[in-house]
């Protein structure tokens, strides 16, 4: 556990002070991008697939997330789309302070300036990754499945 905390602290250090570009994804997913916007074009049988992501990104796929300000919930993964979008607009541009792994289930607190945070409670009933952090070196810190983690080459969401 200690090693996971140290690795996450080291690889998130370059984004301290950078503004976030949050966006909701299909289902209950959430992406938090930082740094320069990157674009990847892949050829598929249906044509080109264009993927945009930040130089650094948190990708929340499974697990329950909420966005809070001074511990007061503003929106969560199950809210209606308009409330989520309004809250993401409010979070946009807030500077990253730190990411803290809270326990061995990899619950996570992503903290920003002025009391904003994204709280993630892992859902261990899924045999999938709970959340990922992709760095500028195209490597990903992947939490899950279960109580496992790894730091490896980037596989785009």
pLDDT for residue 156 = 47
Q: For the whole prediction, is pTM greater than 0.95?
A: no
pLDDT tops 90 at residue 85:
yes
pLDDT tens-digit readout, 111-140: 999 999 999 998 887 778 889 999 988 899
In DSSP notation, the chain reads -HHHHHHHHHHHGGGTTPBPEEEE-STT-EEEEEEEEEEEEEEETTEEEEEEEEEEEEEE-SSEEEEEETTEEEEETTS-HHHHHHHHHHHTTPBEEEEEE-STT--EEEEEGGGEEEEEE--TTSSS--EEEE-TTSEEEEE-STT-EEEEE----
């Amino acid at each position: 556990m200690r090693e996971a905390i140290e690795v996450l602290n080291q690889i998130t250090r370059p984004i301290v002070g950078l503004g976030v570009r949050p966006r909701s994804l299909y289902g209950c997913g959430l992406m938090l991008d930082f740094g320069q916007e990157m674009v990847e074009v892949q050829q598929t049988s249906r044509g080109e697939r264009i993927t945009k992501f930040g130089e650094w990104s948190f990708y929340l796929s499974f697990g329950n997330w909420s966005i809070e300000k001074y511990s007061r919930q503003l929106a969560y993964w199950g809210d209606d789309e308009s409330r989520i979008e309004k809250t993401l607009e409010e979070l946009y541009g807030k500077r990253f302070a730190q990411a803290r792994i809270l326990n061995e289930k990899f619950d996570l607190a992503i903290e920003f300036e002025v009391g904003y945070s994204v709280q993630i409670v892992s859902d261990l009933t899924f045999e999938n990754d709970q959340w990922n952090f992709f760095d500028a070196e195209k490597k990903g810190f992947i939490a899950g499945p279960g109580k496992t983690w790894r730091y490896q080459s980037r596989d785009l969401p």
